[in-house]
Structure 1
């Protein structure tokens, strides 16, 4: 492949920056939408349920809302992966973002139980499923496009920058929800207060406006070059191609790796916070502060992890982080939950160390998953590997409850770290090194 002229190189860098900026902002906005029911809607969930609903039913409903989004994302990955591979990454991203924005906007208008009965909670579950489909489509198109636009030497860093959307979204949703709850004043336990009636709608409206505004921005600024005619005229469905030949072997390998990535992540981001809050030496306020601080730390850790993967190689990076997750994370976790620490600084240092050993793998997934599949199935492969692999780890609490018959409940999370780290290590060993692959060759040249 000939070296582009200097003017062409400048243009290519501009295209790459716009694509990465678009993927980063889009991913942050999508993560914002993912966190909305968990953070903003949860304090007002009683507004949608019959009076005197039991705690067990509350937990069941919250689980159904989470599961609805979870089931929608793999379906969206398949649907929009096909669109992205056949008709273009940008087209798929714009449609997916618009759909998720409309879904979030409708969510903000749902009446409570006193107005439409069980139709209220049913509407939320259905809308979260539909929105999940569009959420699964956004990163399926935008991330591979950003990786294809970037040169091999920058792809690791760019992948890490895109992953910053997770902690940024968490912090933004948490801050908005906290401000509205504070301004709403103390609740008397009924559903007649401001937050139950109107307050929870504000974060959803903000999310809808941000999503729809970003859709327009992405459509106008992000450029997708003309594709290779061989790719464009491929007759077989990308999804069908994904399950044959070398593509099938790649999918199995990254599925093992991503299952481990999600297990490590859920151990720290989902299971650990509850255990932290339950410690006698901690308290809810102190624990919440630590959680917010480690989310802020992740904003720095992700791009550093992505850049490191570019330096040492994706395969080596995953092997190292897999071993850290399997060996170091359980030790750090045990020290933290032992309650033997006294200072906030000690808790913060060890908590950030735990995050680094378990969640920083996401700084490399955007680049690696894009590199593992050829252009004809890249979006489908990326979306399916990323979205379907989350299903088994999502039921981490069930596994912990089973294990609690053999060990104290708070120590069952250690098993998630060990199994997750082992799967990441095995998945990395089974796969090739990919950092030097030029994704532009098979798509644009």
Structure 2
């Protein structure tokens, strides 16, 4: 039997249905888009942060702060570094409001652009020797801008990854924005190493070449503009998550995400804040403080390792950071986020009490170099295992319509308690102990103990109804 010819109306309806299906299909983000948007953006954000952290340890004490006391100059430099952490909760509130009201995509584009502009301008700042106290003032303003932008970056990237993930692979997808941390570190410090090799420099623990101090340090900051352009291109092409669009369609977008978060989810904010504490303290001890400790001459109670060599040692450790960040995702999907985080936090506490074993002997000898490398590898392995699951764990603690705000506030308040204070406290404790690191280790152990308590009091989020749960109206 032959088929009857299609009528114009039937043909039009078929075409409309096909077009609608095609449009609906195109509105979804592919796994490649999700990985690129969450990974590229956080890589750039963390690159910008690491560029500043490296400069804060190596050149900013002499370029932006009055000379006189090396310890005071270093502490001042770290204080400005830490000031960005104070601005991060403000950024979390601002960008969290935008993200929960307007959507994840728009917010991510704005935060990335803000961070990139601030970093680019730092590359052109005059120094203390040129404009006096205005130099550290402008540096502080731009550093606060960096922190403000980063306050909205991480949560948005984590939500893009997890809200577009299959339910049984949320922790795995949540590790993609976390990978931005080790990748950004490698790019930032690798670029500093390339500049170091390209410019004349002495084989001392701190770069003092005239070319590097006068203009070489500016290159990584200016280079960030190119990376931001790439990140913007990736994120502009991103589609809004179906989870957020569902909240909009159901008219469940709350008027004040901040008020709703603290009214109904204050407990989760507190638990999330302390759940991140050990991660922040460990991270900034193994990246920022130890760079200063490792490159300080032995006569000043440091390890006396040349800058180039020590950064290469850190990069080796960060490779383990990246590997174990990825591995932590499937582990957390299998055994649960909370269970995995509890075990690694116990390991971090033990590591804190082993600081002297790794760092307090034979300064200036090959044995101390190998011990320091072992410390970095162990520390970064723990860092990967504790940081990786956070991309899923913190967002899963909050429902869709306050998820951006809630996870951002918890993540960034913890940055004040952990990251902002860690380098400053570590330098003070290291100096107070006469060059020994045992007090620094105890500091890490105490922070990890607080995290352990928070995790014990928290609920497992592995089976949370991530795409359906909404907060109170």
Which TM bucket (shorter chain)? 0.7 to 0.9
| CA–CA separation in structure 2 for the residues paired with 1:138 and 1:110 | 25
Deviation of 1:330 (Å): 3.6
Q: 1:237 aligns with which of 253, 256, 259?
A: 256
Question: Could you say what the CA RMSD is over the residues aligned between the two structures, in angstroms?
Answer: 3.4
Matched, 1:357 2:372: no
Cα shift at 1:158:
1.9
Displacement of 1:440 in angstroms is 2.5
Check whether the contact 2:356–2:437 (CA below 8 A) recurs between aligned residues. no
In structure 2, what is the equivalent of residue 421 of structure 1?
Answer: 448
Q: CA 1:196/1:405 → structure 2, altered by over 3 Å: closer, same or farther?
A: closer
Which of residues 98, 108, 123 in structure 2 aligns to 1:108? 123
CA contact (8 A) 2:111 2:152 kept: yes
Contact map agreement 2:58 2:292 (CA 8 A) in 1: no
**Is the CA contact (8 Å cut-off) linking 1:47 and 1:112 kept in structure 2?**
no
Q: 2:266 aligns with which of 248, 252, 265?
A: 248
Matched, 1:219 2:244: no
- Do the aligned residues in 2 keep the contact of 1:97 with 1:212 (CA within 8 Å)? no
Does 2:119 match 1:97?
no
Q: Does 1:172 align with 2:183?
A: no
Aligned position for 1:153: 168
Which of these residues, 284, 288, 304, is aligned with residue 305 of structure 2?
A: 284
CA apart distance, 1:31: 0.3
Check conservation: 1:279, 1:339, Cα contact below 8 A: no
| Alignment of 1:378 onto 2:396 | no
More displaced stretch, 249-258 vs 83-92: 249-258
Q: Classify 1:17/1:427 alpha carbon distance in 2 versus 1 (closer, same or farther; 3 Å).
A: farther
Q: 1:117 to 1:369 in 2, by over 3 A?
A: same
Deviates more, 1:127-136 or 1:220-229: 220-229
Residue 265 of structure 1 corresponds to which residue in structure 2? 283
Structure possessing the higher radius of gyration over alpha carbons: 2
Answer whether contact 2:430 2:437 (CA < 8 A) is retained. no
Change (3 A) 1:56 1:12: same
Q: Give the TM-score taking structure 2 as reference length.
A: 0.81
Helix, strand or coil: the match of 1:228?
A: helix
Given that 2:358 and 2:371 are in contact with CA atoms closer than 8 Å, whether structure 1 keeps it comes out as no
Which ranges of structure 1 fall in alignment gaps of 5 or more residues? 1-5
Q: 3-state DSSP class of the match of 2:462? A: coil
Q: CA deviation at 1:363?
A: 0.8
Contact 1:48 1:121 (C-alpha < 8 Å) held by counterparts = no
TM-score (norm 1): 0.86
User: Counterpart of 1:147 in 2: which secondary structure?
Assistant: helix
The corresponding residue for 2:90 is 75
Q: CA, structure 1 residues 233+330, in 2 after alignment: closer, same or farther (shift >3 Å)?
A: closer
Bigger drift between 176-185 and 373-382 goes to 176-185
1:304 paired with 2:327, answer yes
Question: Which moves more between the two structures, 425-434 or 256-265?
Answer: 256-265
Contact 1:92–1:141 (8 Å) recurs in 2: yes
Distance in 1, matches of 2:465 and 2:35, equals 16
Number of matched pairs: 436
- Alpha-carbon contact 2:57-2:292 (below 8 Å) kept: no
SS at match of 1:435: coil
